[in-house]
Amino acid sequence: MIDTLLLNAIATTLKNLYGLDVNSSDIALQKTKKEFTGDFTLVVFPYVKAARKSPEAVANEIGAAVKESVAEVENYNVIKGFLNFVISDSYWIAFANRIAVDECFGLKKASDTAEPVVIEFSSPNTNKPLHLGHIRNNLLGWSVSQLLAAAGERVIRVNLVNDRGIHICKSMLAWQRFGNGETPQSSGMKGDHLVGKYYVEFDKHYKQEVAELMAGGMEEDEAKKNAPLMLEAQRMLKLWEDGDEAIRRLWEQMNGWVYAGFDETYARLGVSFDKIYYESQTYLLGKELVQKGLDSGVLFRKDDGSVWCDLTDAGLDQKLLLRKDGTSVYMTQDLGTALLRQQEFGARQLIYVVGNEQDYHFQVLKIILSRLGFEWADSLYHLSYGMVELPNGKMKSREGTVVDADDLIDVMEHDACEICADRGKNVEMDDEEKQRLYHTLALGALKYFILKVDPTKTMLFNPAESIDFNGNTGPFIQYTYARIRSIIRKAGDEKNINIAESAIPQTLNDKEKEVLKLLYDMPATVQQAAASYSPAVIANYCYELAKAFNSFYQDTPILRESDTQRMRFLVRLCSAVSLGIKNMMSILGIEVPERM
């Protein structure tokens, strides 16, 4: 890559001219600002003192020496202490010819023996369907895993299903009380939605009981603790932990309904996992760790029998690990699951994709593991993300409080269908191809709109805005890709242009060069995005690339070009852009249609 050549040449020049031993990795080489002539800029102020010359003189000396030693440097110019290098058209043309047929350009392949990065995402509860918040979690987790893999990491995707606990018992108890034997088959309802329905039923009847107790003179906090339904749900949890056969059978049946529903939603989102853990299988390991912590004095037991970790010396509070009846909490199973994963995979890093409302939880998890003597606790990283909000309440879920993932996807596919019909697209497609296109556009709109926002920020999701074919949206980039593929097909059919044949035009214009420079930035963009765990960097890169291509395309009559060599080059440039868009959008988990 030309920036590596420049950095090495600059380091050599600094040594030869001024006796400076500077590592090339410590030299700040920037992209030249658009208002100036050049491709790469060196700030020379750090070397002025050693040179004992003015910034302009130092820049001119370095520029002349580098131009002499690097054939790809066509020229240079100096503006005060800024040295701008102009790279020759021949370099950019050769670069375009090379990447136009390199399907993996910008992507690194991980070593099969490298220590893996284990990334946990999704982590649903089996008492309700996946909702809009889960969508951001799943899309972010999948995209970050793709991003790390593209940057050369060996990645293992895992999901921890919270399949036990008081919330699951609430759904089970409500189904026992009010379900009349209803099943997904008898109701025609997806299993996760059916179980979620009874979670809502529990809450409705529980609130009635609390209100009745308060009407009888009981304080609200006491009423919430002593409501008969809550007490019965707690007894059910204790029976579950004690292995009661009837309770376990009911639990397995209702969880089975939920898993089938989850699998459908994951398939629609294009998300999958290398391994799925279940809290019911890991909480006992967590309880063993708690016992070890008690034995070593890291943890302590209160008079009521509950077990805690005192974190006041770390500026926090005391953290509950086992309730007084011996039942575990989320922290208990997270301790066990973390140990299990480290034992299984020997991970270089354990990443948890979880909303920012759990910042405290993961801070505590890391401290407790460290106090229990696990040196790898430092490898835990909480990828904390902001919540998703809606601009209005138009899309109501079956539960009436949140937007279910399935409902949202349905709405997005319907909107994609209507927009395509209004724009007169897909008229030559059969019904099956149309449905695939609507799904591709809907998921592209949804994923891109969510992922283009920095993960740490709370975001406002606007379905209507996300599906627009103009502006910074997934469909705009998808349409750009489809347009490029159409150009390439027509060039092959009408002009007999084979993109495998390289071409050497005489010169490049500014818009062609702008596109090529963006393509050149692709590998560095992937590394930058991976370092910050931010798919937003990739999303906005895709938008800039699509925008630059469209600007170039509007000024360039590609298929009407009379010079065969130049046309061949333009088609290869189109091919390079299409590969770039496809590769970068795949990091976001977004498919791009070959035609629209």
**What residues does each domain of the chain span?**
2-87, 405-587
Give the separation between CA 553 and CA 225, rounded to whole angstroms. Answer: 67
Q: What's the pLDDT score for residue 292?
A: 94
Contact call for residues 592 and 482 (beta carbons, < 8 A): yes
Lowest pLDDT segment from 143-157, 314-328, 368-382, 487-501: 487-501
pLDDT band at 544 (very low <50, low <70, confident <90, very high): very high
- What amino acid is encoded at 87 in this protein? I
Class of the 405-587 domain? mainly alpha
Q: What's the pLDDT score for residue 469?
A: 87
Give the separation between CA 100 and CA 97, rounded to whole angstroms. Answer: 5
Look at residue 244 and give its three-state secondary structure: coil
Report CA dihedral (406, 409, 411, 416) to the nearest 10 degrees.
-160
Helix 359-371 and helix 330-345, axial crossing angle in degrees, nearest 10 = 60
Lowest pLDDT segment from 18-22, 420-424, 470-474, 511-515: 420-424
Q: Determine the length of the chain.
A: 596
Give the separation between CA 196 and CA 257, rounded to whole angstroms. Answer: 11
**Which two tokens mark 288?**
């063993």
Q: 320: closest CA among 310, 303, 333? A: 310
**Which two tokens mark 343?**
């034992």
Question: Can you spell out the DSSP letters for 13-34?
Answer: HHHHHH-----GGGS-EEEPPT
User: Cα dihedral sign for 20, 24, 26, 27?
Assistant: positive
- What amino acid is encoded at 121 in this protein? F
Whether the predicted pLDDT of 478 surpasses 50: yes
- Mention every residue, 6+ apart, whose C-beta is less than 8 A from residue 555: 511
Give the separation between CA 571 and CA 581, rounded to whole angstroms. Answer: 15
- Mention every residue, 6+ apart, whose C-beta is less than 8 A from residue 165: 125, 237, 279, 330
Contact call for residues 448 and 496 (beta carbons, < 8 A): no
Phi first, then psi: give them for residue 234, nearest 5 degrees: -65, -40
Mean pLDDT, residues 113-130 = 93
252-277 pLDDT, tens digit each? 999 999 999 999 999 999 999 999 99
> From the CB of residue 302, how many other CB atoms can be counted at a distance below 10 Å?
11
Contact call for residues 444 and 591 (beta carbons, < 8 A): yes
Look at residue 83 and give its three-state secondary structure: strand
Q: What's the pLDDT score for residue 426?
A: 63
Strands ordered across the beta sheet of 82-87: 29-31, 40-43, 82-87, 73-79
Q: What's the pLDDT score for residue 424?
A: 65
Q: 442: closest CA among 413, 475, 472? A: 413
Phi first, then psi: give them for residue 15, nearest 5 degrees: -70, -45
Higher-pLDDT residue of 495, 379: 379
Whether the predicted pLDDT of 140 surpasses 80: yes
Q: What's the pLDDT score for residue 427?
A: 59
Continuous segment of H or E residues that includes residue 161 = strand 155-161
The mean of the pLDDT values for the chain is 92
The DSSP 8-state label assigned to residue 37 in this structure reads S
Q: pLDDT over 70 for what percent of the chain?
A: 97
Q: If you search the block for the tokens 């283009």, which residue do you land on?
A: 452
Look at residue 476 and give its three-state secondary structure: helix
Contact call for residues 16 and 56 (beta carbons, < 8 A): no
Q: What's the pLDDT score for residue 396?
A: 42
Q: What's the pLDDT score for residue 425?
A: 63
**Which two tokens mark 314?**
């770390």
Q: What's the pLDDT score for residue 397?
A: 38
Give the separation between CA 300 and CA 298, rounded to whole angstroms. Answer: 7
pLDDT band at 468 (very low <50, low <70, confident <90, very high): confident
Q: Burial-class residue 125 by CB neighbours within 10 Å (0-12, 13-18, 19+).
A: buried
- CA–CA distance from 391 to each of 395, 408, 414, 463, 464 (Å)? 10, 14, 19, 9, 10
Question: Can you spell out the DSSP letters for 349-375?
Answer: EEEEEEEGGGHHHHHHHHHHHHHTT-G
Q: 352: closest CA among 326, 324, 379? A: 379
Give the separation between CA 470 and CA 461, rounded to whole angstroms. Answer: 17
351-409 pLDDT, tens digit each? 999 999 999 999 999 999 999 999 999 999 999 999 887 776 443 433 445 688 998 89
Strands (E), 285-378: 300-301, 307-310, 318-322, 349-355
Question: Can you spell out the DSSP letters for 203-227?
Answer: HHHHHHHHHHHHHTT--HHHHHHH-
CATH code, residues 2-87: 3.30.1360.70
**Region at 300 (left for phi over 0; alpha for psi -120 to 50; beta for the rest):** beta
**Region at 471 (left for phi over 0; alpha for psi -120 to 50; beta for the rest):** left
Phi first, then psi: give them for residue 309, nearest 5 degrees: -120, 125
**Region at 438 (left for phi over 0; alpha for psi -120 to 50; beta for the rest):** alpha
Strands 40-43 and 82-87: antiparallel
Give the separation between CA 375 and CA 326, rounded to whole angstroms. Answer: 28
Q: What's the pLDDT score for residue 399?
A: 40
Angle at 532 between CA 531 and CA 533, to 5 degrees: 95
